[in-house]
Structure 1
């Protein structure tokens, strides 16, 4: 529950501050989320069996692998964003067409249907 008490007000406060500018209610939500996050981290450090074992982040191999996975995910998402933007803005395809093109390009060959196969086969 403490984890949710940290994440939900933080996300709400951040979204509202971006959407409507600096107001007191989103700022209070943001500060309460950060406070609950600090309490959550301190509590997790003192538990015998924590929900999130923060000592793992002290391991250089674990931290490096996690960083590499994060960077790979960001690069992959950025590539898909740029490819679909290119297909829409440069080649002039409709909104649905780039999605189908990317799905066909990035799906495994075994899941693609060939042009010769159809549902009318005997």
Structure 2
């Protein structure tokens, strides 16, 4: 890992951040809270499969494919966060874990942006 390019470190770091987010609260009602595993947030980790395979095999990531995956993750998380809004009072019950997962997808996009062939 010492000789990895910054882009690969950012992609792996984003994946680790995404895993950490699953252990945080994703929905918080005050008296009840659930984490990312209980919200099936682990499904969002599937977006990282292609970039991680490329990183660990030492292959260049197709930038368009990487951007599309990051965009799917970002839009998916925004929609998931919006789905936790109560219609009656207009309160959003999304908690820290969802926002951390959203940040991990932004990190994935940044990592894909810095990918250069052969590094």
- What is the TM-score normalised by the length of structure 2? 0.29
Higher helix share: 1
- What is the TM-score normalised by the length of structure 1? 0.29
Name which one, 1 or 2, has greater alpha-carbon Rg: 1
Structure number with higher relative contact order (C-alpha < 8 Å, ≥ 6 residues apart): 2
